[in-house]
Amino acid sequence: MRVAPTGGQIGLPFEWPADPRDDEFLVSDSNRRAVQLLEHWASWPVMTVVLTGPRKSGRSLLARIFAAKSGGTIIDDAERQPEAMLFHAWNRAQEERHPLVIIADHAPPEWSAKLPDLRSRLAASPVAQIGAPDDALMQALFERLFLKRGLDARPDLIQWLLTRVERSHIALIRAVDVLDQEVLERRKRLSIALAKATLSEASLIVDPAPTLPFEVP
């Protein structure tokens, strides 16, 4: 486990024995409650949890790690699966006392199943929700992705990106993809100037929050 620059904790999801894939999922305040709920699956009121979160947030990876640790099962992209199958899987998990993770874009009541019996079962299931990435996770993900691409992203560049890239997993990944392609094509060093020009052209920069003037009470 390592300390994130903002003081939050970034680390492996579970206290269980290490798995080679564990370091692919980083934990911060934005996803910690979801991780803790999965970690303590034995205390679930029912043997099913609904795992939600933004696309590219690592929700499927987290579920796979959980399944490998617990022996549980996963249903991904659940809103597009047959409702009868979900209903029987939910019942089977209770009968066999076998944990089931249902991965969906939304939790009830926003996800409203048409089958009444399934709707009531989903409503009774705890929800593990992954939120938008916070500063600690954004920084850790930028560092990891740049390292994987073999790009020398200096701390000042990453801090600059943190104030200008949208707070979403998809935007972060897209920004790294675009910068990687630009460095490869232009054979230039990754810098703030290059990032500003490249991300502006790709419409991947948002205006940083304005600094309010000091007010005397």
DSSP result, the chain: -EE-TTS-EE--S-SSSP-TTGGGS---TTTHHHHHHHHTGGG-SSSEEEEE--TTSSHHHHHHHHHHHH--EEE-SGGGS-HHHHHHHHHHHHHHT--EEEEESS-TTTS--SSHHHHHHHHTS-EEE--S--HHHHHHHHHHHHHHTT----HHHHHHHHTTS-SSHHHHHHHHHHHHHHHHHHT----HHHHHHHHHHTT---PPPPPPPP---
Instruction: Supply the pLDDT for residue 21.
Output: 52
Cα–Cα dist 102/52, whole Å: 8
pLDDT of residue 197: 96
- pLDDT value of residue 72: 95
- Contacts of 147 by beta carbon, 8 Å cutoff, 6+ apart: 153
Domains of the chain, first to last: 2-129 (3.40.50.300), 135-201 (1.10.8)
Cα–Cα distance for residue pair 144/138, rounded to 1 Å: 10
d(CA 38, CA 99): 10
Give the pLDDT confidence score for residue 7 in this predicted structure: 44
| Per-residue pLDDT tens digits of the chain, which is 217 residues long | 233 444 444 443 333 334 445 557 899 999 999 999 999 999 999 999 999 999 999 999 999 999 999 999 999 999 999 999 999 999 999 999 999 999 999 999 999 999 999 999 999 999 999 999 999 999 999 999 999 999 999 999 999 999 999 999 999 999 999 999 999 998 989 999 999 999 999 999 987 755 445 444 4
What is the predicted pLDDT for the residue at 114? 95
